[in-house]
Amino acid sequence: MTLKDSWNSQLYDQQHQFVSRHGESLIDLLKPKPGEKILDIGCGTGDLAQEITTYGASIVGVDKSLNMVNQARKKFPDLTFQAGDATELTFSNEFDAVFSNATLHWVKEPEKALSSIFQSLKKGGRLVAELGGQGNCQTLTDSLIRGFEKTDIVYNQEFFPWFFPSIGDYLVLMEKSGFNVIYGCYFDRPTPLVDDQGLENWLNMFASSFFEGVSDTEKREIVKQVQIDLAPKLYQDNQWILDYKRIRVIGIKD
């Protein structure tokens, strides 16, 4: 199934800056070095790619969304960004490191992505990545599915856009792809959203595929049901806080 490019790069930069902000500490794990060539998979609008270049490394940013790539090119015209699929990278033994923040859980064929990443790395190169793990935003997604049921709208499981593995399962996939895994962790990260419209903005930004074929009126009703359902659980101190659960890994191409 191929969905349209529904990524809104303006909304992403205005309301979802936390994605890049949390990724800054992943750069600490990457430890970029002067002269290294690094591939940023799922570069979004380019903020973390730009940050990596401040360490003296060169960067190539790849994102499946042309909307995001075009925004990155506008913001950082001196850097290289291109549209591409993580499962179909065209590089071979080219990069000292592959960096990926909050992207690989969007890839529902993880074996293909990891194989493609492995092929892109030089011998001795490293993959440093963060992705959503088992149970990520499950309170929200369970409520969203219930929202469909309450409004008598058929929920299509095919439109669930994510792959949220356990850390054990993901490390096994990495090893099967040839990586020597030297680091892995799984942790909770309660994530505050911006203002009272934060939950609705999040759904528009990240969960648009759920609403394929659903009318605007039906969507508004479902979102309303979700907000009512989740307010006692996820609305605290005048803001929405989502139940993010994350995995971080480092794998070496020996």
> Is it the case that residue 204 has pLDDT exceeding 50?
yes
| pLDDT for the residue numbered 24 | 82
Query: Which sign, positive or negative, has the C-alpha torsion 50, 79, 82, 98?
Result: negative
Q: Is residue 3 domain-resident? A: no
- When divided into structural domains, the chain yields a total of 1
- Is the pLDDT assigned to residue 12 strictly greater than 70? no
* Alpha-carbon torsion, ordered 94, 95, 100, 106, to 10 deg: 10
- pLDDT at position 67 over 70: yes
Indicate whether 149 belongs to any domain: yes
Inside any domain, residue 204: yes
Cβ–Cβ < 8 Å for 5, 66: yes
The two tokens of residue 50 are: 């730009």
Per-residue model confidence as pLDDT tens digits over 93-150: 999 999 999 999 999 999 999 999 999 999 999 999 999 999 999 999 999 999 999 8
Contact indicator for 55, 34 with CB cutoff of 8 Å:
yes
Is a pLDDT exceeding 70 seen at residue 20?
A: no
Average pLDDT over residues 189-202: 89
In-domain check, residue 2: no
Q: What are 146-180's pLDDT values in tens digits? A: 999 988 888 888 889 999 999 999 999 999 999 99
Spell out a b/e string for 204-220, using b for 16 or more CB atoms within 10 Å of the CB, else e: bbbbbbbbeebeeeebe
pLDDT the model gives residue 8: 55
pLDDT class of 2 with cuts at 50, 70, 90: very low
Q: Is pLDDT above 50 for 15? A: no
Residue 65 lies in a domain: yes
Cβ(206)–Cβ(136) under 8 Å? no
pTM: 0.90
Averaged pLDDT for residues 231-243: 93
| Assigned domain for 171 exists | yes
We report the CATH number of the domain holding residue 205 as: 3.40.50.150
54 CB neighbour count, 10 Å cutoff: 9
In a domain, 62, yes or no: yes
Rounded CA separation 18/168 (Å): 26
Identity of the amino acid at 195 = D
Torsion sign over Cα 145, 151, 157, 158:
negative
Asked if the structure places residue 169 within a domain, the reply is: yes
pLDDT of residue 59 exceeding 80, the answer is yes
* Amino acid (1-letter code) at residue 48: L
CB 203, CB 138: distance < 8 Å: no
Which residue range(s) make up the domain with 172? 9-252
| 3 pLDDT more than 50 | no
**Whether pLDDT at 209 is above 70:** yes
Q: How confident is the model at residue 16 (pLDDT cuts 50, 70, 90)?
A: very low
For residue 70, list its beta bridge partners: none
pLDDT at residue 10 greater than cutoff 80: no
Residue found under tokens 């005048």: 238
Q: In the predicted model, what is the mean pLDDT of the chain?
A: 91
Q: Tell me the C-alpha distance between 229 and 232, whole Å.
A: 7
- DSSP E strand boundaries for the chain: 37-41, 58-63, 80-83, 95-101, 121-132, 180-192, 235-236, 239-252
Which one has a higher pLDDT value, 62 or 151? 62
What is the structure's pLDDT at 1? 37
DSSP 46-92: SHHHHHHHTTT-EEEEEES-HHHHHHHHHH-TTSEEEE--GGG----
The answer, yes or no, to whether residue 23 has pLDDT greater than 80, is no
49 — pLDDT class (breaks 50, 70, 90): very high
